[in-house]
Amino acid sequence: MIRHTVVFRLKHKESSAEEAKFLEDAKILAAIPGVEKFEQLRQVSPKNDYRFGFSMEFADQAAYSGYNDHPEHVAFVRDRWIPEVAAFLEIDYALLS
């Protein structure tokens, strides 16, 4: 199992219509084959300035690779993520035995 996580800050003003639209449109990622347990999260720690997080799981590396290469993911990254995300940190985890 691979857990794919990303925390990020948008370029949009907090609580703006643009922020809400980005988060709503990002839900398309949940429908990509192989994605399990998709979650959108609000970051609440004062220890960093990221505002949101996405978390999802994949059964294995093949499912994760399929997601990364899927046309809907590629288009979302190109058309929405790159233009609208100010900063992010991506971490992918595999369970320890």
Q: What is the pLDDT of residues 7-61, one digit of tens each?
A: 999 999 999 999 999 999 999 999 999 999 999 999 999 999 999 999 999 999 9
For 12, which DSSP code? Answer: S
Q: How many domains does the chain have?
A: 1
The answer to whether 50 and 2 have CB atoms below 8 angstroms apart is no
pTM of the entire predicted model: 0.93
Which SS3 state, helix, strand or coil, does residue 6 take?
strand
Specify the pLDDT at position 66.
Answer: 98
Residue 77 sits in a domain whose CATH number is 3.30.70.100
Alpha-carbon span 44 to 61, nearest angstrom: 30
Specify the pLDDT at position 97.
Answer: 80
Whether pLDDT at 89 is above 90:
yes
The answer to whether 8 and 52 have CB atoms below 8 angstroms apart is yes
Report the pLDDT averaged over residues 64-86.
Answer: 98
Alpha-carbon span 93 to 83, nearest angstrom: 26
* Domain range for 69: 2-94
